[in-house]
Structure 1
């Protein structure tokens, strides 16, 4: 079929439910999406969507072809991956996905060094906790926290780098301000710990405060709002925070560096993986919550 661009737009609207979501996914404006859908409907001589106040809903005809469109998308991604896998140049696009805190608080100096060493590589950094699909070329390299004894899915090539631990942290001043009660600062699905109580004279309020993302929890703890759970590499590095006396340090998972089997031999993929692997080896103690002996009174 000679209307692949229009099929991509159709699939993006079908998956996103709105023209705006499709435009964001494909990095084009919404008018381009609308025109593309119109051209495809004209080519097929059928209506593919019903336009509703809440968004776009597939018609019966649209439903009939959405699975085939998905197969076309997968085939296109596989073709791109095969060609990309043969690329041994040190120029061109390269996508890295990793948690935001890993990028901002841990690996940014490493990425700066990589950029300085290979200025012709157009690095795209995707900071997200979402599992990006490497098979669809949504990213070329992924740094992920894998919970439990996980192994890379089929078609992914992975290296386990180090353990990942979390701990409970509080602002230093709250350790001395005995009259100020502290709140539990929790994420959306986190619960108040029931297997230990804060020591050191910390008084707790009964009502927790919840946050939609970790960065706000982190800043709230730094501001003295209460106790929160943080990655040890983040909490231990902040001079305003200390570990809560009596609290555990918990293994949360393992850090894996992942690439796709079709693209892992691409030279710029290998170069980036080498930089990240070397850096993470140096960070293994921080990731596992091992702190200097001089700070042992905080444990």
Structure 2
């Protein structure tokens, strides 16, 4: 998939008709998992070059939709998806973005702990995102199933970017909770349609995804991580896995700007230049804080 081309005019028209002035329940009207977004029924998701996108770059956006974090999905659908795509096209840190959206939950208690759209390059992305089931579940088991997108992308996606050009895509996940330490064989079979010989650790799932994606996670200082105690619990599970590719965002309303800037920096732009490029002072400050290293030092190997 990935035909067509993003148009700002199409986005304005679509958002005006479908999301402007609406609350989360009015935007996301699905009340259950639709078969076309069920990973267990998906054989493969493809990002392929075509006449409109000759050098496609796959970008995966996997958002936690448990509890209050469904609000992140609402913000994306009302405004920030347009910012994200149009700014990638304008700044050109990568060529011809093909974006797949994923909704992430908790495999131990949710009906739909993972959903996946197609890779899309035009307004069809927004149409599919709106059809995702924002379950709002989660449980009190100390984390969410953030490793599911890694396992899915490592086993059920195929991209021309990697297969033809040896260039990895980008996989971003967003959430406020610790990552659960493994995906069980039963969860992989039930929710992904994948047969595993044994349970897979989060690190093993990450390794599969990293073969063809540069993987990042953004801890949102909301919900579980709004307090220092919750934040540090989450941090202890994420930092050993991702190191400097773990980003901390103080305001989820600036998530689109951070994703664009992180891709820019991974492609060689100076972090301070990336942050300073945003005219909105709040976005610039949030991005600068998220891109700052843990202590002062050399940026040359940032993300690498």
TM range (shorter): under 0.3
Q: TM-score, normalised by structure 1?
A: 0.22
Q: TM-score, normalised by structure 2?
A: 0.21
**Structure (1 or 2) with the larger CA radius of gyration:** 1
- Which protein has the bigger helix share? 2
